[in-house]
Structure 1
Amino acid sequence: MAKIREAEHSTAPAAIVLAGGRSARMGGGDKSLLTLGGRPLLSHVLDRLIPQADKIAISANGDPSRFAQFGLPVLPDTMEGYLGPLAGLLAGMDWAQATGAAQIASVPTDSPFIPADLTARLMSSASPDRPALAASGGKHHPVVGLWPVALAGRLRDFLESGATYKVSAFAQECGAVLVDFPVIALTGDNVDPFFNVNTPEDLSLAEKVLEETQR
């Protein structure tokens, strides 16, 4: 896997890979370490994200040493309880803000085909106080987005309220805009670029997509 290097654009945002899911439909464990094309699923996500981000961290609880091979900061949730991806996003915002970043991109660890122009297109629609979220094929993908780190305090208050922990609800409260991305055209079918590997069947499909897109 490629090492972190200077991003192609000096204005590239920080990024957080959300790897804290429970992976119940995959039998538990770390979904990010499942093998796709002979390599960890997380490696495929990072290969696409590294050229688009100034710095990257992994959001995950538990022993961080299991991610040592990737050489990235591993950020545990800073709030108690299982609050879902928003808790990981909050940890990422706090980390990014401490490094001087103004924006942070979020992607899940189980979407190995994120577009190569993801952050550039999201940045073109985001603003200092408004996030931008990905959409494709008529579907919204709230976990894939670009967030002003200045929203960290607002996100903390949102989580502490306990009303809901849905990413889409927080995004709507912040007036998020949607950015549409084209589907991946395959032989006889189309695949959402934000397709999630949630089940063994999804992993088999991902192997097929990887094989065809690498030809």
Structure 2
Amino acid sequence: MAPILGVILAGGLSRRMGGGDKPLRLLAGRTLLDRVVERFAPQCGLGVLLNANGDPTRFAGFPGPIVPDGVPDHPGPLAGILAALDHAAVHHPSATHVASVTGDAPFLPLDLVDRLRAGLSGAPIAMASSAGREHFTVALWAVSLRDDLRASLVGRGERRVGAFLRRHGAAAVDWATDPVDPFLNVNTPEDLAIAEDRLKVS
């Protein structure tokens, strides 16, 4: 398979964290985003994008392009995925797939992209799962989905990631959660405290 382009989704409003840029919150002295980049970027042969809205200068030092939603009114993660698929089609025409992760998951597996790629089994999307839970935004997406995804978002107003995945028969790839769930994401101050504890055993 052709090299993968990665996208880190950071376009949300972070309401449960009290607003602001959740990926810039500190975990043991380093931002969540730095930790995600460290684990995810080496897996992406075509580099990584950051999907974020607003002033891009607040992410100075990010090692790739900052790509905002191309759909207005913050329609959610699907808009960020569409922005990444569009970027891949224009700037990396040889790319067949884009891998997505969230900017608040500091324990991502180091074999994430390889295992998702192996798990496609003919499906256009493979998504991660752990402990009986599917992680809709940690996934590998065929670039060929972009027109249908745009029609879903713009034409039908569909914002539910799970519904889009189901319609396209997404394959689930499961990871163990011992000693740490690799898809623990930091949504609240309480989650940040949990992540601090998990660092001690990861």
How far off is 1:62 after superposition?
0.2
How far off is 1:129 after superposition?
5.6
Structure 2 residue 86 is matched with structure 1 residue 94: yes
In the alignment, which of 160, 168, 181 is matched to residue 175 of structure 2?
181
How far off is 1:94 after superposition?
0.7
How far off is 1:155 after superposition?
0.3
In the alignment, which of 44, 58, 65 is matched to residue 53 of structure 1?
44
- Structure 1 residues 74, 25: closer, same or farther in 2, change over 3 A? same
**1:129, 1:151 within 8 Å by CA — same for their partners in 2?**
no
Tell me how far apart the structure 1 counterparts of residues 128 and 184 of structure 2 sit (CA, whole Å).
Answer: 12
TM-score by length of 1: 0.88
Q: Which has the higher contact order (CA 8 A, sep 6+)?
A: 2
Q: Secondary structure at the match of 1:107?
A: strand
Q: How many residues align?
A: 199
Equivalent residue, structure 2, for 1:20: 11
Q: Secondary structure at the match of 1:140?
A: strand
In the alignment, which of 44, 52, 73 is matched to residue 35 of structure 2?
44
Structure 2 alignment gaps of length 5 or more = none
- Structure 1 residues 119, 23: closer, same or farther in 2, change over 3 A? same
How far off is 1:150 after superposition?
0.7
Equivalent residue, structure 2, for 1:4: none
Tell me how far apart the structure 1 counterparts of residues 174 and 36 of structure 2 sit (CA, whole Å).
Answer: 19
**2:104, 2:186 within 8 Å by CA — same for their partners in 1?**
yes
Equivalent residue, structure 2, for 1:7: none
Superimposed CA distance per residue, residues 12-69 of structure 1 (whole angstroms, 9 cap, x where no aligned partner): 4111000011111111000010001211110000111012111100000000111112
Structure 1 alignment gaps of length 5 or more = 1-9, 186-190
- Structure 1 residues 36, 169: closer, same or farther in 2, change over 3 A? same
RMSD (Å) for aligned C-alpha atoms: 1.5
Residue type of the partner of 1:19?
Answer: A
Superimposed CA distance per residue, residues 158-204 of structure 1 (whole angstroms, 9 cap, x where no aligned partner): 1123343011111111111111111131xxxxx42111101111001
Equivalent residue, structure 2, for 1:77: 69
**What's the % identity of the aligned pairs?**
46
**1:129, 1:150 within 8 Å by CA — same for their partners in 2?**
no
